Amino acid sequence: MNTAIKHSHIAFSDDSGHEDGRFNSLCLITMELSQLDGLKEELVAILKKSGIESEFKWSKLRSNSAKYKFCAERLEDFIFSNLDKLRVDILIWDMDDSRHKNSGRDDNENLARMYYHLIQNTLSKRWNNGSTWLLVPDHQSSINWHTLGEYLVSKKHKTMADIFGIDEGGFVNLGLKIIKPTKSHEEPFIQLADYVAGLGAYSYGHHTKYHNWLQNLSGQNSLFSNVINPEVLSSTEKVRFPLITSFTEKSKKHKKKLSFQKTGGFKTNDPRENINFWLYTPQHSEDKAPIK
């Protein structure tokens, strides 16, 4: 790929899935290219200070690894302290909804379509139309990036309407100049995207147990029962549940319109917010995941 192609903005992405397989997520971090060097320097310093020698991964957040917990807390601080310089958009989808619960589902192709929806919405609706983009996704994704690139940059691709179920007027010139898949250990922003994508899927997959844990922690269950039987948390939950709490508290502190309890997981009420959790819902009865 010719990385010498000029662009004004840059986007990083990674996808994640809850361990029970029901909820999947995708995170896109976007910013002006002029902000990249300063933000990356800060992010690299966080990883180094936390003792992360290889790469930070959501899957490594367990109670026997304190450095990953401390790093996650610092990554959250980094996000909220830099929302004037970047956007974090997270798309989450439920494999048990009417769109996805069908036999023969092609998960790789479905992921490509979700990538399209998130990229199209973020680049065309949340940034200026004159922006030009470099997309840096995790190279381990199962997506055919060449094919996705054709979908994204062409308003007249003959199969786009059929593939995405969107009329011709729904496609805009995104200004996407190049897609450069990159190894996650070489790019700290992909590692950051991995964390937020993981947090988004986990907030839905573990919502009920987290809610019960929070009630036990606050003693609210005593209003309904004389005996409190706190649920036994796994080593992973002992680390990740407090991170859900801290993310919620930081959102409130920064006056972000982020819902959790009523929505069954993180969901931003106003998608114009610079941190935007979006739970995908089927758009119509014919909105179905692709079949192999």
Domain range annotation of the chain: 9-279
Phi, psi of 137 (to 5 degrees): -95, 165
Average pLDDT value over all residues in the chain: 85
Helix axes 66-81, 235-253, angle to 10 degrees: 20
Q: What percent of the chain has pLDDT over 70?
A: 86
Interatomic CA distance for residues 175 and 166, integer angstroms: 19
Q: What percent of the chain has pLDDT over 90?
A: 55
Give the pLDDT of residue 156.
44
Interatomic CA distance for residues 13 and 194, integer angstroms: 8
Structure pTM? 0.88
Q: Which CATH architecture has domain 9-279?
A: 2-Layer Sandwich (3.30)
Interatomic CA distance for residues 28 and 122, integer angstroms: 8
CB-based contact 230:209 (threshold 8 Å): no
Give the pLDDT of residue 229.
47
Question: Which helix (H) or strand (E) element contains residue 11?
Answer: strand 9-17
The alpha carbon dihedral of 120, 121, 123, 128 has a sign of positive
Structure confidence at residue 259 as a pLDDT band (50, 70, 90)? very high
Interatomic CA distance for residues 251 and 247, integer angstroms: 6
CB atoms within 10 A of CB 17: 19
Give the pLDDT of residue 157.
44
